[in-house]
Structure 1
Amino acid sequence: MQIQVRLFATLRQLAGWSQQTIEVPDGATLEQALAIIDERFPALAIGSRTFYAAVNQEYAKGDQVLRPGDEVAIFPPVSGGAMQTHR
């Protein structure tokens, strides 16, 4: 089955693309899909970095089963800026 994969921030820069259609086995979990992405795009080093994943715009865990056409978004943690103090 096909899923849409979207990358954000530094992951997009490392891969050189922001969105791709990826083929995964029917009934694949998010974790399995991430392993396929890691294998196909080793520059991303998904298996050795901290990241967040969402399926259809909702945070997801690795055991979530994917369906045809699902959108998987992968993005690194975002750190905030300096606190602003008002006087």
Structure 2
Amino acid sequence: MSVLNEVLEANRNYVSKFGDKGKLPLPPARRFAILTCMDARLDPAGYACLSEGDAHVIRNAGGRASDDAIRSLVISYMLLWTRECS
């Protein structure tokens, strides 16, 4: 099985168990945003003790905050009420 097929199967499984998570509000429950590296070895939910809906997680490449990442943080703060960033 190809990686794509594995991911698609995992997605179907995830969707089937999604339940009421679609009813979570768009603003993060903990009013928190994380800007982190896109390194695949990092698990922001794991290292920050987060559940779905707790925080906005913005991944970025290059070792510094890009204009796109900063734009996402501004939107998170100005429109979706985050008040802390890491």
TM-score w.r.t. structure 2 length?
Answer: 0.23
The structure carrying a bigger helix percent of its residues is 2
The structure carrying a bigger strand percent of its residues is 1
TM-score w.r.t. structure 1 length?
Answer: 0.23
